[in-house]
Amino acid sequence: MVSLTLLSMPVLAFKYIDYVSRSRSSENISEEVSLNKQLAYRVDLFLSVHPYSKPLALLVATLLLIFLGGLALFGVKDDSLAECLWLSWTYVADSGNHTDSEKVGERLVSVSISFGGMLIFAMMLGLVSDAISEKFDSLRKGRSKVVEQNHTLILGWSDKLGSLLNQLAIANESLGGGIVVVMAERDKEEMELDIAKMEFNFKGTSVICRSGSPLILADLKKVSVSKARAIIILAEDGNADQSDARALRTVLSLTGVKEGLRGHIVVELSDLDNEVLVKLVGGDLVETVVAHDVIGRLMIQCARQPGLAQIWEDILGFENCEFYIKRWSQLDGMHFEDVLISYPDAIPCGIKVASLGGKIILNPDDSYVLQEGDEVLVIAEDDDTYAPAPLPTVKEASFIHIARTARKPQKILLCGWRRDIDDMLVVLDAFLAPGSELWMFNEVAEKEREQKLIDGGLDISRLVNITLVNREGNAVIRRHLESLPLQSFDSILILADESVEDSAIQADSRSLATLLLIRDIQAKRLPMVTHVQRGSFSQGSWIGEMQQASDKSVIISEILDPRTKNLLSMSKISDYVLSNELVSMALAMVAEDRQINDVLEELFAEEGNELQIRQADLYLREGEELSFYEVLLRARQRREVMIGYRLADAERAVINPPSKSKRQRWSVKDVFVVIAEKE
């Protein structure tokens, strides 16, 4: 009777409290929540707020079952309460222990306790299974923390990621591979699947994917952002202003990391106008690469100098030779003209001057003497493949008095409209000779163009070297293109039109259609030029490029998707293709060494030094036998740094040639690649 009374007391108490609450709710209409609902709410709140609530609830239920079962056994057995509690525990732990029960009451109680024990055991298995499933789900979805340091962190996902990972893998090959962590707002399994489909060798580099937002500090800590040696923020595909605004918020999040950042931040921007704001927020931590601006400037340089695209691909990519900066104390006190021939496996092209706060000077004077703390900027195959050696014996270079022909006015066609076309016009005006014509062919109404250019910050009256010729039309409609004198242009630039810029596939499809139409129209108007030398020289050969530049227009296509670029390269229907792959190369290079960004900015700018292609007759005579060092010293008399050459019958240029002291016979049809001041 005592056991039954104790067991029934909680039930009676609960019923009484519920009755009282209901009676009060009838008197007070505003309080309509019953005790059952309040109790259910409290239990739900407890289970959701406390992380260990489920195991704790299971423990309480087990102890309650043991206690109530012990009381019930105490009522039907003659044993002590302690013995009954122990017996109740054995029934809960092993449901087969009640088989020796003899009396009816004892059997009913023992069976009830055993059923409760089975329920407790089932609940325990469910909790363990859920915990294991949650852990595996967390690992699968990339919620676990990355325990790495000195890794490269990429925030975001875009079509440039494949090229970027490829360049980072090549850069880390000499170190036996590295660690690259990618965090984006995508499913981890999808990211890993897309990366697995990339057709290149990672060369020992491991790529770790995590799902998360770069705007959330907890997610940034999850990828060990404070221990990364470089952080790359990729621009989102789509609207440029929205992409740059998100990049700005990401930089703000990174500057808010309490532990601080070990590495620098490389931000890919879509609009040049937003660069100042990002640098203002990020300060000294930030290096910016404006993708649209880089492609635009490269297109202009390649339009002026056919063949320059391949040179840039070789220098920007880690597969061949690239820029490195290092200090060599044994060169202190040496003139730069002697430093030029001190590296058998590299070509010096600048000095990082310690006395000027680490400013990099490209193409310095021969008389500059290296001081303590100065570093040498070179072009080499890798950072561990070159070192200074004793000065070689080089025959004194005699100056050849051949004046370079003055720049001639050019006639250039721009197909399409870009949001930064005003910046391109400023660069073209700085690069082209006076009297040049720039034809603008797009779908923007002629009355609106001038206003758009003014809104972009361009004063047309300040253009001194170029004259604008406006033509309105659709670049994918043949009859519109046939109205243009396509055979008379020196260069044709096909831009990724602003109207379809948000979709890389649509923009590339439009550029490809324009390219095919222009080529077909040119072939019908200039049939002899179209087929001259096609059997003798490949599409990418140097002589073929020079013939195309002189005999007909050189076509330069802006391609957003690297896959389309590969397709065009294989089909050989375009002279030069500039794609986002070059932007990926620049991002990887700046991520590896942020100092290189200053070098690239000068080479891309309107003033200072740039890559140029020179005819061999500026330095030598037909059939003259000279070493590369001897030709290099002749170039120094013209204040140029010679970094490579391309023979008349060669497919590609040779940057940082081997055996620089070995003599060879040259032809005036050869060309040399130099770093020289802009004309």
CATH of the domain at 106: 1.10.287.70
Q: Is 339 among the domain residues?
A: yes
Regarding whether 162 and 129 lie in a shared domain, the answer is: no
What CA–CA distance (Å, rounded) separates 440 from 647?
Answer: 36
What CA–CA distance (Å, rounded) separates 650 from 483?
Answer: 38
Predicted confidence band of residue 141 (pLDDT cuts 50, 70, 90): low
Cα dist from 542 to 185, 276, 455, 522, 664, whole Å: 45, 39, 41, 21, 19
Between 473 and 651, residue with greater pLDDT = 473
Residues comprising the chain, all counted = 679
Q: Is 307 among the domain residues?
A: no
Between 231 and 67, residue with greater pLDDT = 231
pLDDT tops 80 at residue 660: yes
Cα dist from 478 to 53, 240, 484, 515, whole Å: 72, 30, 10, 11
- Mean of pLDDT values over 180-184: 94
CA 608 to chain centre: 28
Regarding whether 233 and 258 lie in a shared domain, the answer is: yes
Predicted confidence band of residue 111 (pLDDT cuts 50, 70, 90): confident
Regarding whether 176 and 273 lie in a shared domain, the answer is: yes
Domain termination residue (choose one: 89, 108, 141) = 141
Q: What is the pLDDT of residue 11?
A: 64
Residue 225: give the domain boundaries.
152-284
Strands 671-677 and 609-615: antiparallel
Q: Give the CATH number, domain containing residue 634.
A: 3.30.70
Predicted confidence band of residue 330 (pLDDT cuts 50, 70, 90): very high
Tens of pLDDT, residue by residue over 508-560, are 888 888 888 888 888 787 655 444 444 444 444 433 433 443 356 688 888 87
- Mean of pLDDT values over 102-127: 80
Domain termination residue (choose one: 83, 116, 141) = 141
Q: What is the pLDDT of residue 548?
A: 45
Q: What is the pLDDT of residue 570?
A: 55
Q: What is the pLDDT of residue 374?
A: 94
Regarding whether 159 and 262 lie in a shared domain, the answer is: yes
Kindly report the backbone phi and psi dihedral angles of residue 294, in degrees, each rounded to the nearest multiple of 5, phi listed first. -60, -50
Predicted confidence band of residue 387 (pLDDT cuts 50, 70, 90): very high
Between 506 and 139, residue with greater pLDDT = 506
Regarding whether 637 and 611 lie in a shared domain, the answer is: yes
For the chain, the average pLDDT equals 83
Between 137 and 181, residue with greater pLDDT = 181
Q: Is 535 among the domain residues?
A: no
Regarding whether 573 and 465 lie in a shared domain, the answer is: yes
Regarding whether 368 and 251 lie in a shared domain, the answer is: no
Predicted confidence band of residue 327 (pLDDT cuts 50, 70, 90): very high
Regarding whether 569 and 465 lie in a shared domain, the answer is: yes
Tens of pLDDT, residue by residue over 589-612, are 999 999 999 999 999 888 889 999
Regarding whether 508 and 476 lie in a shared domain, the answer is: yes
Q: Is 113 among the domain residues?
A: yes
Q: Is 211 among the domain residues?
A: yes
Cα dist from 517 to 414, 511, 569, whole Å: 15, 10, 17
Domain termination residue (choose one: 141, 173, 195) = 141
From the list 444, 394, 400, the residue with the least C-alpha distance to 419 is: 444
Regarding whether 511 and 455 lie in a shared domain, the answer is: yes
Q: What is the pLDDT of residue 20?
A: 63
- Mean of pLDDT values over 148-172: 91
**238-255 in b/e burial notation, b at 16+ Cβ within 10 A?**
eebeebbebbbebbebbe
Q: Is 13 among the domain residues?
A: no
- Mean of pLDDT values over 639-646: 93
- Mean of pLDDT values over 307-320: 85
pTM greater than 0.85 (yes/no): no
Regarding whether 275 and 200 lie in a shared domain, the answer is: yes
Q: What is the pLDDT of residue 440?
A: 93
CA angle 395, 396, 400 (to 5 degrees): 120
Kindly report the backbone phi and psi dihedral angles of residue 611, in degrees, each rounded to the nearest multiple of 5, phi listed first. -75, 135
Between 611 and 174, residue with greater pLDDT = 611
Tens of pLDDT, residue by residue over 266-298, are 999 988 888 999 999 988 899 999 988 888 888
Q: Which residues pair with 441 in a beta bridge?
A: 415, 471
Q: Give the CATH number, domain containing residue 507.
A: 3.40.50.720
- Mean of pLDDT values over 625-640: 90
Regarding whether 265 and 169 lie in a shared domain, the answer is: yes
Q: Is 10 among the domain residues?
A: no
Domain count, the chain: 5
Q: Is 591 among the domain residues?
A: no
Strands 466-472 and 491-494: unpaired
